[in-house]
A and B are shown apart, each in its own frame.
Chain A
């Protein structure tokens, strides 16, 4: 909110677009989930997807790092460009793509390893071998995720012994340790208590200087608090997209207004 983007709607500002979708559709088997979505995600900003359950916002998010590939029977059409490179059609190196587009899930999912090993996992996968280098990166990631002070004396403890909020920040640290350029957050605070939620939101504020963040949330206040741009999805289509202030204060569509004022959804 403090760093409100003074420029206009995202569509016109294609110079800073990080992800560009054109006519993106997706089906689970024969069930359509997304229907002709075209929008841009701006670099170094927070974009929030809001909408009722089943509107396709998580499905859309998972299109960006091809997580939908893991689900049997998913088909997509249309184009997604990541800094100008097509990522929705093979051949692409999906592992490489996922290193650049990190993801944090709804439920914290730390690996059953130590705190340190959780954060070091991605680094080791990337081929880091030097112990010192890995340690530096882990410390940096944990500091960036505002978790360092809480865990610096027990890095060898199992990650699963942390609290839910700490686990979620650990998972964020794990994601940013490999220095992605985009961070996808799929309802990152939905299973957390208010204090932990607040910490996550503060974290998002800090991270958006260095990362492009896309967040899916159910929580309207959260979207209003953390995002620069907001897209309202309904039935697999984008109903309205724009600067968060505009969407929340002055929505164009009646449907959007109904949803954000709680009359619908």
Chain B
């Protein structure tokens, strides 16, 4: 074996070690807080400087569900999520059609306006929303909280669906017209199936944003519309760290479920306007 090769091998294994170290630290950085919360949610009598809880228990979950009223809260979160997704998707389809397929003056400016709710600090925006909702008596209603979420979800839906509509082949629609399909049939039989991946992507984005939304919920919720993030936050205020941790873990589960679904069922690159290559 030549010297150069020995050196090369050394360098190679050195790079490998470096790479794995980096990867491991990154993983820890991402996972450590989550690991901590999970441990906390099942640990008993875990005080001081111990690295691992001395006793394991599922009591905190029982507490979270019974005292923290998690099933009810989960129901609220899901209902609000579904409303927010429905409204955002409808807005996204119409706006996406316009942005993706129409030439209009000031398109960029309009797009900027659409994205504005995401640019200004959430608390500033939420305060304004709250003021309006108090006037309209929308505070502490499913619709109210969901509509507040739409301001966050719709921009994503519009972005994703604009890209999807842009990728639609104009000539395929023309072909459908020549084949005898009127506007409605063209939409049902050709447009809709072709933009379905985009709609799915937009729904997933919208749902995750609604599900995770905290600031806007905090200023528009009431006793009947407590959502998971807010409930968890309130539990922190009550000082029960173990129960809070259990709630936090429960809250993560649906997100993981969705993530697994996306990974298995669809390639992410196909979801976002991936129709161009078809």
**A and B from one assembly?**
no
